[in-house]
Amino acid sequence: MISFERISKRYGEGHDALREVSFKIEKDELVFLTGHSGAGKSTILRLIMLMERPTRGEVVVNGRPLRKIGPRAIPHYRRDIGVVFQNHQLLFDRTVFDNVALPLIICGYDHREVGRRVRAALDKVGLLSRERAMPIALSGGQQQRVGIARAIVAKPTILLADEPTGNLDPALSAEIMHLFEAFNQVGVTVLIASHDLALISRLHHRIITLKQGKLIAGGAH
């Protein structure tokens, strides 16, 4: 499903964010990506999203080598991946419903189908009653759940999350992680970057550990 083959990434002329990183994630897996700040977790997710290109090595997603996906093909490729990224949050000038509907609008669903799917997604994250609310009226945990609903509403085969529990208290964080586990149960490949080792080590999934751009544990399974 996702395979990194001796991937190195150097930003500009600076230092190497990733060095010869190799791993494979199968369909139906939920994998955590951990390491200190600056270890290269976000870089791995950005490479999968084609927000960056590797300096060396090959990334293959769903059997497609990403090297072969040109700029014009990127949008279509991204529609098959749901993302929950910290710095790309909700649009605060539209309702919860409109935020979650965005990926479906992009895919061109008609409005009846959009309504049906958005409500199904909001139902899964437990926010069906808040579809008309503005994001600003929601708590941090609820906003995060709206973000997750947006990530899964178009039924992607892969779900990526970068520090999805960043600002949440332990109880809410666990709740969010259980949500990801639920999506994984129905066949979505899930990759979560998190430095919250205490939380993720309790969840019994594979953990890939990075240290200064090198993979030090969890590469094989």
Residue 197 CB, nearest approach to ligand ADP (Å): 13
Nearer to ligand ADP, 47 or 96 (CB): 47
* 194: partner contacted, choices Mg ion, another protein, ligand ADP, none (Cβ within 5-8 A by kind): none
As a whole number of angstroms, the distance between CA 33 and CA 52 comes to: 18
Sequence-separated (6 or more) residues with CB below 8 Å from residue 126: 145
From the list 9-17, 22-30, 39-47, 75-83, the region that binds Mg ion by CB under 5 A is 39-47
Residue 215 CB, nearest approach to another protein (Å): 23
Neighbour tally for 136: CB within 10 Å: 9
Residue of 32, 39, 42, 207 interacting with Mg ion (CB under 5 A): 42
Nearer to another protein, 57 or 103 (CB): 103
Could you say which residues in the range 83-122 bind ligand ADP, by CB under 6 A? none
Nearer to ligand ADP, 35 or 54 (CB): 35
- Rule CB under 8 A: say whether 137 interacts with another protein: no
Residue 118 CB, nearest approach to another protein (Å): 14
Could you say which residues in the range 65-104 bind another protein, by CB under 8 A? 72, 75-79, 82-83, 85, 87-88, 91, 102-103
Nearer to another protein, 27 or 76 (CB): 76
Nearer to Mg ion, 37 or 129 (CB): 37
* 91: partner contacted, choices another protein, Mg ion, ligand ADP, none (Cβ within 5-8 A by kind): another protein
Q: Phi-psi region for residue 189, left (φ > 0), alpha (ψ -120 to 50) or beta?
A: beta
